[in-house]
Chains A and B, each alone.
Chain A
């Protein structure tokens, strides 16, 4: 192997994006991924036991799934269980592909609302990178949303929203609330070898048509064609360092043999749990509390998006099991702070569809159907007749919410991560408010009964904040480029760099940041920021 310019750890959403951008830019890139390739046609949605797979072999929680590529996570001290996947493609192998961008205000919560802290970059710094990423992933949607600065025309038209979301959209219109068809990283038409979506439903089980983007399809083929080398089933044990430089990594291959790989730069892309864990595992005599941890911020400020579910039961069938489960329409009516409500920041309401028979019975979006004499009646009252709205709330950074190392070890002998996390009072109030407002929406939509889940315990799919970005090395881990303050050749490009969490799905923003960071690594001039004022005025004039 030639001298490696950039050694990327993790082949998921951010690792793929940064590897592609670096390789296309002419750098020698190698990426180590602890999982392997997942064939799209291995998706259980092709089999009769597809719903069982969601509960067992393809469960989003690695502690349940127990795939050989997974590492256990001690989640005994958190009400929100982790959801992530380890493979080429990372968690995009099993995601819903809801693809909003963080909003301009999300980067400025200290300035606007006096809480947490501002990011050292803005939405507008990322604007051009969002567009590049959208082209790579393939996005269906509709330009013109007044909740956002202008976006380019989407590559594909919006996906069908289905009967349930139609009812909810009409309710939003009557109530005067914002709504819009979502941006989805799902091709609503042919995109290269990827076929258009056929509305099968369970995107989270993988997509045999390749319609739903995953970065093993959307980024890796082009990255590899540009010269990036991807080494699979290679579990990085620690990042090695000498004085003020990182020197490479030690990893174990599928047989458990240990290898050392040297590189000029190391780029971490292991998500908010994996990256923090690796930095802590890489402690040495020079860095006794973990690598790049002079600030003591590694592992701290773990943020999710505390999520409630509000489900309406309709008298007639709305066929919610048809169509991509996570994407149809959304509302940002209550996204920004209104101090009269007694809390700061807000939530995004995302309309989701519903489940098949097993998901309905076991309470995928609601609560398990009752057992006993009422079981069958309760089942048929709900099956095919529900539509749900998620209340995705902003989670404030709290240094006591964190990733640390457990005393337990994984199958390769490395200490596993432990999550310590509490939902704070602000988020609790937000959840309650979101349940109230969406109960109103669903009643207006014609639902005859409402079922609420105040906190979705399985919603630990957004893993943010554990190596936060900032200008001050004393209280942050990386600078605005993703370069760590402590080592000028160690970079972090995943969600762990998030300063605050916003109140929406982060993948689009994570990838845009990774692309921008790649340009910084290459020493390129960064793409120019969008002119905020001009963008706003252009939108006003267009009305």
Chain B
């Protein structure tokens, strides 16, 4: 569990007011989510390939070890990373920070939807004067 927690810190570290993945995600929920789709023992095997002192490593060497993991266990790493991103970007705290930085509304897309400018047909200039170019059997194009 410590190794997984530290791996989460490396994958998405805390910075600039953003939570780290380790802060935003419950490892129990993460493991449960992965286990629904995959054999979590394969992820555990990948985690066991990290050095025993991984949790004490500085950022740079820790990233190097995670890169090795990514190369040696590409499928398992992809499953884990995707699950981490899913959990992280569903966190209300994380989305609140995205909202602060960009103005993105946290509400679900429905029922409000979005307002957009109607299509402006005057944009069609050259193409509107183009001869038809759908190809026909008789070589008319």
The residues of A with any CB-CB pair to B shorter than 8 Å are 43-52, 55-56, 64, 103-105, 108, 111-112, 142, 144, 146-149, 157-162, 166, 169-170, 172-173, 176, 178-181, 197-202, 208-209, 317, 319, 321-323, 336, 356-358, 361-362, 368-369, 371-373, 375-376, 380, 383-384, 532-533, 536, 539-540, 543
Tell me if A536 and B132 are in contact (CB < 8 A).
yes
Q: Which residue of A lies closest to B109 (CB)?
A: A200
Is the Cβ of B89 less than 8 Å from the Cβ of A361? yes
Residues of A within 8 A of B30 (CB): none
A161-B113 Cα distance, complex, nearest whole Å: 15
Does B116 reach chain A (CB closer than 8 Å)?
yes
Q: Are A357 and B98 in contact (CB under 8 A)?
A: yes
- Residues on B with beta carbons closer than 8 Å to the beta carbon of A336: 133, 135, 141
Chain A contacts for B94, CB-based, 8 A? 357
**Nearest-CB distance from A148 to chain B (Å)?**
5
**A536 contacts B140, C-beta separation under 8 Å:** yes
Q: Using A147-B133, A199-B113 as known contacts, say yes or no to A368 and B59 having CB atoms under 8 A apart.
A: no
Query: Could you tell me the distance between the alpha carbons of A143 and B36 in the complex, rounded to whole angstroms?
Result: 48
- B66: contacting residue among A104, A147, A371, CB under 8 A: A371
20 inter-chain pairs at a CB distance below 8 angstroms, sorted by A residue, are A51-B86, A105-B135, A111-B137, A112-B137, A149-B134, A160-B118, A161-B119, A170-B123, A180-B127, A199-B114, A208-B110, A208-B111, A336-B135, A357-B104, A358-B89, A362-B82, A371-B81, A376-B18, A532-B136, A536-B134
Q: What are the nearest 9 A-B pairs in CB distance?
A: A198-B113, A160-B116, A200-B109, A358-B89, A322-B114, A158-B119, A105-B135, A200-B113, A539-B132
Task: Give complex CA distance A540, B132 in Å.
Answer: 7
Q: Flag if A142 contacts B121 (CB, 8 Å).
A: yes
| From A173, A180, A368, A384, contact of B125 by CB (8 A) | A173
**B interface residues (Cβ-Cβ under 8 A, vs A):** 10-13, 15-16, 18, 33, 36-37, 59, 63, 66, 81-82, 85-86, 88-90, 92, 94-95, 98, 101-102, 104, 106-119, 121, 123-138, 140-141
Inter-chain pairs besides A169-B123, A178-B130, A198-B110, 8 sampled, C-beta below 8 Å: A103-B135, A104-B136, A173-B125, A178-B127, A321-B104, A372-B13, A383-B98, A536-B132
Task: Give B87's nearest chain A residue, CB to CB.
Answer: A52
Q: Inside 8 A of A536's CB, which chain B residues have their CB?
A: 132, 134, 136, 140
Contact A373 B59 (CB under 8 A): yes
Set B37, B89, B127: member contacting A51, Cβ < 8 A? B89
A375→B13 contact, CB < 8 A: yes
Contact (Cβ within 8 A) A357 B89: yes
| Minimum CB–CB distance for A336 against chain B, Å | 5
- Answer whether A368 and B81 are a contact pair too, CB < 8 Å, given A49-B90, A208-B110, A536-B132: yes
Chain A residues with CB below 8 A from B131, complex form? 146, 539-540, 543
Inter-chain CA distance A178–B13, complex, in Å, is 45
Nearest residue, chain B, Cβ from A359: B89
Report the minimal beta-carbon distance from A181 to chain B, rounded to whole angstroms.
Answer: 6
Instruction: Give the distance in Å from the alpha carbon of A533 to the alpha carbon of B140 in the complex.
Output: 9
- In angstroms, Cα B107 to Cα A201, docked, is 13
Beta-carbon contact of A322 and B116 below 8 Å: yes
From the candidates A48, A111, A180, name the one contacting B108 in the complex (CB within 8 A). A48
The residue of chain A having its C-beta at the shortest distance from the C-beta of B77 within the complex is: A371
> Which chain B residue has the least Cβ–Cβ distance from A162?
B116
In angstroms, Cα B90 to Cα A197, docked, is 26
A499 to B82, alpha carbons, bound, how many Å?
38
Whether A384 touches B66, Cβ cut-off 8 Å, given contacts A158-B119, A170-B123, A176-B126, is no
A383 touching B102 in the complex, CB below 8 Å, given contacts A49-B90, A371-B81: yes
Query: Which of B66, B107, B119, B129 sits near A543, CB closer than 8 Å?
Result: B129
- Which residues of chain A come closer than 8 Å to B104, judged between CB atoms? 321, 356-357, 383-384
A533 contacts B88, CB within 8 Å? Answer: no
Q: B96 → chain A, closest Cβ, in Å?
A: 11
Contacts of B134 in A (CB 8 A): 103-105, 146-149, 536
Quick check: A173 and B126 within 8 Å, CB to CB? yes
Alpha-carbon gap, A533 to B134, bound state (A): 12
Which residue of chain A is the closest to B17 with respect to CB atoms? A376
Which residues of A sit under 8 angstroms from B95, Cβ to Cβ? 357
Question: Within the complex, what minimum Cβ distance (angstroms) separates B20 from chain A?
Answer: 10
Contacts of B115 in A (CB 8 A): 199
- Name A170's closest neighbour in chain B (CB-CB): B123
The answer for the CA separation of A181 and B98 in the assembled complex, in Å, is 32
Complex Cα distance, B18 from A179, in Å, reads 41
How far is it, in angstroms, between the C-alpha of A368 and the C-alpha of B86 when the chains are bound? 12
In the bound complex, CA of A319 to CA of B104 (Å): 9
Determine which residue in B16, B109, B111, B116 has the highest number of CB atoms from chain A within 10 A of its CB, and name it: B109
Cβ B89 vs Cβ A180 within 8 A:
no
Residue contact A178 to B15, C-beta cutoff 8 Å: no
- Alpha-carbon distance A49/B90, docked complex (angstroms): 6
Chain A nearest CB, measured from B54 CB (Å): 14
Q: Are B132 and A199 in contact (CB under 8 A)?
A: no
A376, B15: Cβ atoms under 8 Å? yes
- By beta carbon, the residue of chain B nearest A358 is B89
Known: A111-B137, A162-B116. A45 touches B110 (CB 8 A): yes
Q: Contacts A52-B90, A540-B132 given; indicate if A199 touches B116 (C-beta within 8 A).
A: yes
Q: Complex: how many Å from CA A161 to CA B128?
A: 18
The answer to whether B116 and A108 have CB atoms under 8 Å apart is: no
CA–CA, A7 and B108, complex, Å? 41
Complex alpha-carbon distance, A373 and B101, angstroms: 18
Q: What is the CA–CA distance of A369 and B123 in the complex, to the nearest angstrom?
A: 34
Q: Are B112 and A198 neighbours in the complex by a CB distance under 8 Å?
A: yes
Q: Min CB distance, B63 to chain A, in Å?
A: 5
Closest CB in chain A relative to B124 CB, distance in Å? 7
Contact A198 B137 (CB under 8 A): no
Q: A176 CA to B133 CA in the complex, in Å? A: 14
Q: Which residues of A contact B88 (CB under 8 A)?
A: 361
How far, in angstroms, from A319 to B103 measured CA to CA in the complex? 11
A539 / chain B contacts, CB cutoff of 8 Å: 131-132
CB distance from A187 to the nearest CB of B (A): 13
Taking CB atoms, residues of chain A closer than 8 Å to B13 are 372-373, 375
